[in-house]
Structure 1
Amino acid sequence: MTSFASAGEQWTAERAQEWAKGRPWLAGSNFTPSTAINQLEMWQEETFDPATIDRELGYAAGCGMNTARVFLHNLLWEQDSEGLLKRMDQFLGIAEKHKIGVMFVLFDDVWDPSPKLGRQRDPKPHVHNSGWVQSPGKEVLQDEAKRAALEPYVKGVLTRFKDDKRVIIWDLYNEPGNPNKSAYGPVELADKPKHSLDLVQKCFKWAWEVRPSQPLTIGVWANDWSTKEKRDALNAYQLDHSDVVSFHVYKDLAETKKFTEPLFEYGRPVLCTEFLARTAGSRLQDILPYFKEKGVGAYQWGLVAGKTQTQYPWESWKQPFTEEPKVWFHELFHQDGKPFDKEETDLYKKLTAAP
């Protein structure tokens, strides 16, 4: 008999595998519309842009993508929780029209540590992700009482969509503990991994109290998870509490295999929720067929080059660029729907085609 999780429980590995059974191989992108510099600009009422979302998810569907990973922000809940839920519902309707299942991300430890509501700044010319913001910001993350006060956001969003078939996975927290050294200095927040681990633990507790019908995950992204003994505290907690296992890797095929294959030992479905960094060796032509062969869900970074400017590499924070790089770092399409490289979109069509 299959064991189904009830409130307060992680899914069994068998339940997680049952979720994956009969589902097509997941292939898609991390999605922000090209008109938004970050999560706040994507979702706030004044700048929410359903026309662009519809058009650009159409590009994704047109090359065979069937899923998208999409970031939220706790400040949106505090600003206008009902408005956020309404716009999420509208977004899900657009995604469903294009047969794209959505993975929502609730928190994120990367880029600007001081997010603010309202009008977002303009992009810095030629700089990768110059306006992306952390959720929560460092002022909340470093304060135990403020971390605890995030509970209504997590539970409110999960409760509203816990049985919504348009949501296929919940990614509770992106890259917990990321120190942001390349962009925001060596000591952005003292003891950040300790604070992040506390919020990771709270995320699973709160989510289990709601216990959505969709799987929960928090992906590993740094340090060594090649064996259980080598894991640090964050990686161990994430891997031991996720319903489905997820990870990030921005490396060439040989290195990607080294990061991927230890995760099969957990006996759960495996998803790579971030990859594709062409000039760092992470190329779709190499890695996408490998993920398909192994049944690893694949979410490349970026879809349409726009205000996030992630066609520029990470090095653009330190090394000045005066024009767009000839080889894009992330992203798949220009804003008019023309692929950066038609070979890549043809590969998606080939690998996602029904047998």
Structure 2
Amino acid sequence: MSNTTSTPDRWTPERAHAWFKAQPWALGANFLPASAINQLAMWQADSFDPERIDLELGWARGLGMNTMRVFLHDLLWAQDAAGFKQRICQYLDIAERHGIFTMFVLFDSCWDPHPQLGPQREPIPGVHNSGWVQSPSATQLADRSTWPQLRAYVEDIVKTFGQDPRVTYWDIWNEPDNQGGGMGYYLPREAKDKIALVAELIPQAFAWARAQNPSQPLTSGLWLGDHWAPGSSELNAVQTCQLACSDVISFHDYNWPEKFESRIQQLQQYGRPLICTEYMARSLGSTFDIALPIAVREDVGMINWGFVDGKSQTKMPWDSWKKPYTIDPPLVWFHDVLHTDGTPYRQREAELLRLHGSAEAQRARAERVRG
């Protein structure tokens, strides 16, 4: 499964910047409807909830959001590729009606490494994101004989939607070098030598997607460590691939503004557009009022984790895996922007989002990048 000579080249920095400047400044959230505990529940036929998706994407647009990052899963494709793609089309139709673009995530190394199709478990009371699942599973990752099926999944999904103007990015793999999610809870269940296996597979996943010649750029976000600048000795094999293969560089940051600005400055040295695909953890110092002005100044797209309070329970902090929270809601929400009924957690946050996502703000940004 080595890369073939016919695989299109990675986008040049010039092409990436031209594309990025032609798009609206990305402002949005990682999207999971409140009715779903994970990506399997979101997409399976028995639990797919277009009415709730329509409601929540309407709220998103009302907040000035224009881009949602949405996770797919290889098992959904293996179970019923045609049905899965039909539901993706239905989702995109809904999003388009609300003026929402979509970044699709193909693989994910976070949380439960043994996903199962069918009815998903109920949330663990007081625990952050207690039902989220990985793709591929630990079993698939450790068994190279299953990788051709992963390839078929990537190729079919990207071929099907690779020219769709409603899709604006392909996020090949979310936090690929993450292991032991749930504050170490899942570490004993991870694939042996997980990171080495991912380092072997992720460049192939990029190549499979790129071979479909999509009109959208490919990316995979850095999140681990503090030193990401070119030549850093701290970059591991997975991160080196992410940086070498991404057309547009993406990253995650849940830190105080000093760290957020430092990450941006390091990544700007690669000469490519930047988008932050996860941020906003209030108790850690990552907030809308601090992060958004920095991002606007540096022209970094911004997609926060968490949107509507629901079954994912991401208003609870990460440390709830160690000690589930008995206070619901917690005194300070960790993630999430809206209550289940659509009212803002903080009205000031809603005002900030509308300000930065307004048509006036988008026009001002377009003038800046043209200059």
Residue of structure 2 in register with 1:345 after alignment: 350
Contact 1:33 1:304 in 2 (8 A): yes
1:135 aligns with 2:114: no
Distance 1:51 1:229 in 2: 47
Residue of structure 1 in register with 2:302 after alignment: 298
CA offset at residue 7 of structure 1? 4.4
Bigger Cα displacement from structure 2, 137-146 vs 296-305: 137-146
Distance 1:201 1:22 in 2: 28
Contact 1:63 1:348 in 2 (8 A): yes
Distance 2:334 2:180 in 1: 18
CA offset at residue 121 of structure 1? 0.3
1:179 aligns with 2:179: yes
1:146-157 paired onto structure 2 within 5 Å: 146-157=146-157
Bigger Cα displacement from structure 2, 298-307 vs 315-324: 315-324
Bigger Cα displacement from structure 2, 162-171 vs 220-229: 220-229
1:19 aligns with 2:24: no
CA offset at residue 183 of structure 1? 4.0
1:255 aligns with 2:259: yes
CA offset at residue 142 of structure 1? 1.2
Contact 1:112 1:184 in 2 (8 A): no
Residue of structure 1 in register with 2:366 after alignment: none
CA offset at residue 311 of structure 1? 0.3
Contact 2:31 2:306 in 1 (8 A): yes
CA offset at residue 184 of structure 1? 2.4
Q: Secondary structure at the match of 1:260?
A: helix
CA offsets 1:311-351 (integer angstroms, 9 cap, x no match)? 00000000231122121000000111100001111001111
CA offsets 1:28-51 (integer angstroms, 9 cap, x no match)? 000000000000000000000000
Q: Secondary structure at the match of 1:225?
A: coil
CA offset at residue 289 of structure 1? 1.2
Contact 2:111 2:133 in 1 (8 A): yes
Residue of structure 2 in register with 1:266 after alignment: 270
1:192 aligns with 2:204: no
Residue of structure 1 in register with 2:232 after alignment: 229
Q: TM-score, with normalisation over the residues of structure 2? A: 0.92
CA offset at residue 229 of structure 1? 2.9
1:48 aligns with 2:57: no
CA offset at residue 199 of structure 1? 1.8
Residue of structure 2 in register with 1:3 after alignment: none
1:28 aligns with 2:32: no
CA offsets 1:72-120 (integer angstroms, 9 cap, x no match)? 0000001100000000000000001110100000000000011000000
**233, 238, 243: which one pairs with 1:239?**
243
Task: Report how many aligned residue pairs link the two structures.
Answer: 350
State the one-letter code of the partner of 1:53: I
Runs of 4+ in structure 1 displaced over 4 angstroms?
none
CA offset at residue 180 of structure 1? 1.9
Contact 2:129 2:312 in 1 (8 A): yes
Gaps in structure 1 of 5+ consecutive residues: 1-5
1:106-125 paired onto structure 2 within 5 Å: 106-125=106-125
Q: Secondary structure at the match of 2:22?
A: coil
Q: TM-score, with normalisation over the residues of structure 1? A: 0.96
Distance 2:334 2:272 in 1: 30
Contact 2:229 2:269 in 1 (8 A): no
Q: Secondary structure at the match of 1:308?
A: coil
Distance 1:19-1:176 versus aligned 2 partners, 3 A rule: same
Gaps in structure 2 of 5+ consecutive residues: 1-5, 361-371
Q: Secondary structure at the match of 1:149?
A: helix
Residue of structure 2 in register with 1:10 after alignment: 10
**315, 334, 337: which one pairs with 1:332?**
337
CA offset at residue 190 of structure 1? 2.4
Residue of structure 1 in register with 2:213 after alignment: 211
Residue of structure 1 in register with 2:367 after alignment: none
Distance 2:168 2:26 in 1: 10
Contact 2:7 2:207 in 1 (8 A): no
CA offset at residue 148 of structure 1? 3.3
Contact 1:9 1:211 in 2 (8 A): no
CA offset at residue 294 of structure 1? 0.7
State the one-letter code of the partner of 1:350: L
Contact 1:179 1:189 in 2 (8 A): no
